[in-house]
Amino acid sequence: MNVKTLNFRPILYLLFTVIGGSQSKELARKIASKLDCKYVDSKITIFPDGESKITLPETLTGTVVVVQTTYPHADTNMMRALALIAKAKKTASRVIAVIPYLCYMRQDMEFLPGEIVTSKMVAKLLGATGAAKIITVDIHSNLAVNYFDVPLVNTSAIPKMAGYFRKLDLKCPMIISPDLFWSKKAKQFAEMLGAEQIALNKQRDRKTGKLKILHQKNLDLSGRDVVLIDDMISTGNSMILAARYAKSCYCRRIFAVCTHPLLVDNAEKRLMDADIDKIISSNTIEHKTNQVDVSDIIAQSIE
């Protein structure tokens, strides 16, 4: 459904109500604007022990769209998303959960003995709470998609990211995925720009978390702009390692690009200290690095 071409906006207004969760109010308002439907703000009170008390100002009917990203702290914001879904489900005919950044998707298998596959638990909770459909952006794990009992739409910010970079004056750009994991998406991004692409071979010690990049033979980045792209930047360690590697190959400028700007543990400053010229992200998580708006691609997935 392309909401921009719809000619029955008054009917859409009656069909949809968009609720803005605590971490996604601005994005929720933009989605409501794209759908030309009603926006309802959720109210939140935090008790001294950290519990969240969430209130909706009115009874909601029809199809309700709950928009709540699970930016750190992930546990708190996932609980708030579940509470909003459960409350809306009591009176709405259908609830669509929009969780732009869906947490716990990295925990999609038992990597070491005794580890809990938490992504499977999150998938079950969202369905059991009342979500009839879940929309997310650039989910971290394709394996985790199989854990959902309700339809899950995994949209992507990649086309919007490519549109942003097409407007920049890049010099012989090289698109680099900091590891092999997101190399397919990096290749898609590069093809949209008509640029070259490589994936660095990053290795992580599962016990210590220490990262290293294996040497790439015959990589000449002299005078070229480098775009480092990944689904998320959390601590920034992978990006920093990749940036230092690119600098050692005498590149020109370095851009760090991601869909989800978690940027924890002073990551933004550490990235800039690693000679990264600019950090660009989508607005799945509200941050000053937001340059790409995904409200339209989310709105197009709501039906």
Residue 31 to residue 293: CA distance in whole angstroms = 10
Span between the terminal Cα atoms of the chain, in Å:
7
Residue 231 to residue 294: CA distance in whole angstroms = 14
C-alpha dihedral (152, 158, 164, 170), degrees to nearest 10: 170
Q: Can you say how many angstroms the Cα of residue 79 is from the centroid of all Cα atoms in its chain?
A: 18
Q: Which of 167, 154, 191, 133 is nearest to 255 (CA)?
A: 167
* Catalytic hit among 202, 269, 278, 288: 202
Instruction: DSSP letter for 88, please.
Output: H
CB 98 within 8 A of CB 51: no
For the question of residue 187 being annotated catalytic, the response is no
For residue 175, the one-letter residue type is: I
Strands 174-177 and 196-199, how do they pair? parallel
The β-bridge partners of 166 are none
- Dihedral sign for Cα atoms in the order 268, 272, 274, 276: positive
For residue 288, the one-letter residue type is: K
Residues catalogued as catalytic = 202
